[in-house]
Amino acid sequence: MTFLLGKDQYYKWPLIPKIGIVILIIFLLGRVVLYFYKTKAKKSDYNPDFLPYGQMWMLEEIPEYRFKKKFFFVMKKLALVSFCSMLVFLSIAAGRPSTIQVKKIGRQKRDLFLCLDVSYSLYKQNYDLVDHLEKLVNGLEGDRLGISMFNTSSMLFMPMTDDRTYTIEKLEELKSYFKMQGEYMELQDIIDDNPSLHTDEVSKSEDLLMTLRLFDKGTLHDNISKGSSLIGDGLGTCLYNFPSITDSERTRIIIMSTDNQLNAFSSDSQVINLSDASLLCRDSRVTVFGIFPSDEFFYKKDNQNYDSCKNGFEEAVENTGGAFYTFSGDSFNSGDILKEIQKHPAMKVNDITIKREIDLPNYALMGVFISLVIFAACKFAIRE
């Protein structure tokens, strides 16, 4: 039944409008029968010698009486019409007119993992990246985000999620962590000259280190025997943090921040080296985007060769088809890089169709309301 319905609309409960129409027909037939019955009764009771009937012509000559008679007649008919329309609209609303809304949207189906080398020397680079990512989180609709941290060992800081509120909370925690790392590093620079002259700074440094160790426990496991900054293990572990790694329905991306300063104590310290880890990413169709410190922000230049570290990391990133960026302090904007990553050709957006059943009660309820107001106004006018 498509009574009073638009195109592509239907009743969820079609029996109710039908019952409403039947009730309306019965009501109107009853009114007609009652009208003829009353008319017939009046004719049978008519007596011209009875004074009231004999004097009725006099009332008809009074203009006020004629006006009120017509007014009451119109109000009664209007009340009847509004009552009938109210019954119709109620039946329509009760039948729940509905439609299927088909919406085609381009939804991003990407999984992004932030893979952070949390060596203290990278605190500025990591803080900048996390701060800009936090500002972009609400714009990553359809994307899921996870965070992996590593030094000697890797730690899943935030599993893959599309919960924006939770993500922002975890990013705020990371910002606090990197800020504390920066404070600790600055205090250490002051203390290194002469610890005995900076007792307050030493005390603050020790307090900060105790707080930092709460974060570091997960990333410095067995560092005494293995060393630190095991880059290959960091990337390899992050890769296998992706849920259902064999699922090809989602584009997978790793944004990796590191200075690639491998400080392994032996060749057995790493399970996998950076080059092999990048090839695993390529084979799993995971694209890696790398952020590396500029020469100015590269720590301990005497112990590590800058060009060697940079070239090794850049080669690993290019193995996966990703892009390589250099962090240069205030002139560097991680937000621009993140936006570029979103537009990268490897990240294809799939069109998906959403079908939703939507109730359309508005016009029916409006009809009920208008009919009710007219009916109440007519009844009030008749009683007055």
pLDDT tens for 171-205 read 999 999 999 999 998 888 888 777 777 788 888 88
Q: Cβ–Cβ contacts within 10 Å for residue 25, how many?
A: 10
For range 204-221, the mean pLDDT? 88
Query: 86 and 149: one domain?
Result: no
Of 154, 116, 118, 109, nearest to 133 by C-alpha is: 116
CATH number at residue 344: 3.40.50.410
Lowest-pLDDT range of 152-156, 244-248, 351-355, 359-363: 351-355
Q: What's the pLDDT band for 44 if we cut at 50, 70, 90?
A: low
Within-domain flag for 251: yes
pLDDT at 45: 54
Within-domain flag for 4: no
Within-domain flag for 236: yes
Please give, one letter per residue, the 3-state secondary structure of 342-365: HHCCCCCCEEEEEEEEEECCHHHH
Query: 317 and 378: one domain?
Result: no
Within-domain flag for 2: no
- Between 331 and 89, name the one with better pLDDT: 89
97-120 confidence digits (pLDDT tens): 888 877 665 555 788 899 999 999
Query: 208 and 60: one domain?
Result: no
Q: What is the DSSP string of 296-358?
A: GG-S-TTTS-HHHHHHHHHHHHHHTT--EEEE-GGG--HHHHHHHHHH-TT-PPEEEEEEEEE
Query: 37 and 144: one domain?
Result: no
Give CA angle at 383 (380, 384), nearest 5°: 85
pLDDT at 80: 82
Lowest-pLDDT range of 82-91, 96-105, 162-171: 96-105
N residues, the chain: 384
Lowest-pLDDT range of 2-6, 115-119, 209-213: 2-6
Please give the residue range of the domain that contains residue 65: 9-101+358-383
Q: What's the pLDDT band for 51 if we cut at 50, 70, 90?
A: very low
Lowest-pLDDT range of 191-200, 253-262, 273-282: 191-200
d(Cα 313, Cα 317) in Å, to the nearest integer?
Answer: 6
Q: What is the DSSP string of 18-85?
A: HHHHHHHHHHHHHHHHHHHHHHHHHHHT--TTSHHHHTHHHHHT-HHHHHHHHHHHHHHHHHHHHHHH
Q: How confident is the prediction for the chain on average, in pLDDT?
A: 81
Query: 113 and 77: one domain?
Result: no
Q: Is the pLDDT of residue 278 over 90?
A: yes
Q: What's the pLDDT band for 20 if we cut at 50, 70, 90?
A: confident
Within-domain flag for 353: no
pLDDT at 354: 63
Provide the domain count of the chain.
2
pLDDT at 243: 86
Query: 178 and 121: one domain?
Result: yes
Within-domain flag for 1: no
pLDDT at 235: 96
Q: What's the pLDDT band for 312 if we cut at 50, 70, 90?
A: very high
Query: 52 and 135: one domain?
Result: no
pLDDT at 153: 93
Query: 15 and 119: one domain?
Result: no
Lowest-pLDDT range of 102-106, 136-140, 284-288, 343-347: 343-347
Query: 131 and 53: one domain?
Result: no
Query: 136 and 230: one domain?
Result: yes
Of 296, 257, 287, 290, nearest to 348 by C-alpha is: 287
Within-domain flag for 3: no
Query: 169 and 269: one domain?
Result: yes
Contact 318, 348 (CB under 8 A): no
Within-domain flag for 123: yes
Query: 148 and 258: one domain?
Result: yes
